[in-house]
Amino acid sequence: MRIFRRRLGRRKFRLTREGRAFLFVTIGVGLAAVNTANNLLYLVLGLLLSLLLVSGVLSDLALWKLRMNRKLPAKMFAGKRALIEITARNDKRWLASISVEAVDQLDGVETQPARFLRVPPGESVSAAYGFEPPKRGLLELGAVRVVTRYPFGLIEKGYTVYLPDEIVVYPKLLEQAPAPPFEQMPGDAAPMHRTGRGSEFAGSVRYYREGDEAREIHWKRTATRGELVVRERDQDLSLFVTLFVDNVRPQDVENREAWTEQFEQSISEVATATFAYLNHGVSVQVRSSDHASPMVLGGAPPDPIWHFLAMLRPARAGAPPETGKSRAA
């Protein structure tokens, strides 16, 4: 639930296309009634005006005491469709909110509405809409437009509520490919024993997690415990690779758009290779000309490196490198 919530402005309404046509018909009937003094036309005019009045009142009731909350997915990738969940809470005691839509307002990006057919009184209903982030980086969400055309579709009435939120959109992943070949690091340091992906059985087991390989399941202990367990292995920390992203933009580059496109492609390639290496038990670190990501051990989630790549920006040629930890670390 959002602690900070602010409604922006008053409720606004507009006539829909059907509403404008209905209004023209009403005006025509009114003019005919005045010119002819026909009681039947006056009766029809009264019915038409009452429909407009009822439409305005019921649409107000649909939006009254209706609260919105947003829930973002755990991960979002550029160019990949994700579901953003909107929850509507109806605080009215007796009346339901019917035919309500919630639309996230993002600068330059069209979003689909989350539709609520009926929100019963005193209850919450969740709806989701699909969103495909156009690029990596920090995605900031703010205003949500809540509208309804209930009951006749003649009037669209709504208000805007401010729900601040943000999420880091990871780089676009390419089609999965096997990890490139790697070499064992030279050196005679004493081996460090750490459970993870490796070749030696560590003698312990843990509960099965999504993504674990089926061949790692310890069937005897699974049968004994009645739950899936997998073998823990000593991780081979001598397997380590460093991936490099050239983020220096030359000052004399002729086609800046082409360079940017190539830069984004290289980030996607490194993000994909990182995932492949870690799945093969290889520890990974990513470096650019001015920053370095945290080192992620083989078998661990690649999120720290993906976060680093998502926030990586082009550097000016000739600029002094920054010292210290990466901003994404």
Of 316 and 96, the structure prediction assigns the larger pLDDT to: 96
Mean pLDDT of the 309-324 span: 70
The one-character DSSP state at 251 is T
| Residue 25 neighbours by CB under 8 Å, 6+ apart | 48
Distance, in Å, from the CA atom of 238 to the CA atom of 222, rounded to the nearest integer, reads 31
Strands of the chain, DSSP E: 6-15, 66-71, 76-77, 82-90, 97-104, 114-119, 124-131, 137-148, 155-170, 195-196, 200-207, 229-234, 240-244, 248-249, 283-287, 315-316
Distance, in Å, from the CA atom of 209 to the CA atom of 216, rounded to the nearest integer, reads 11
Distances in whole angstroms, Cα of residue 108 to Cα of each of 91, 92, 134, 161: 33, 35, 10, 19
Which token pair is 92? 């009215």
pLDDT digits (tens, 9 = 90+) for 103-150: 998 876 778 899 999 999 999 999 999 999 989 999 999 889 999 999
pTM for the full model? Answer: 0.71
User: At 278, which amino acid appears?
Assistant: L
- Predicted confidence at residue 108, as pLDDT, reads 66
Which token pair is 88? 């509507």
pLDDT digits (tens, 9 = 90+) for 238-281: 578 889 988 887 777 667 788 888 889 999 999 999 998 888 88
**Are residues 11 and 156 in contact, defined by beta-carbon separation less than 8 angstroms?**
no
Tokens 């780089």, residue located: 171
- Predicted confidence at residue 196, as pLDDT, reads 44
Percent with pLDDT over 70 in the chain? 78
Distance of CA 197 to the CA centre of its chain: 30
pLDDT digits (tens, 9 = 90+) for 56-113: 899 999 999 999 999 999 999 998 999 999 999 999 999 999 999 999 988 767 788 9
Distances in whole angstroms, Cα of residue 115 to Cα of each of 1, 101, 127, 207: 19, 5, 6, 39
pLDDT digits (tens, 9 = 90+) for 178-210: 555 555 444 333 333 333 444 433 346 677 766
- The domains found in the chain, sorted by start residue, are 6-170 (2.60.40.10), 172-198+235-329 (no CATH), 204-234 (no CATH)
Tokens 């069209």, residue located: 110
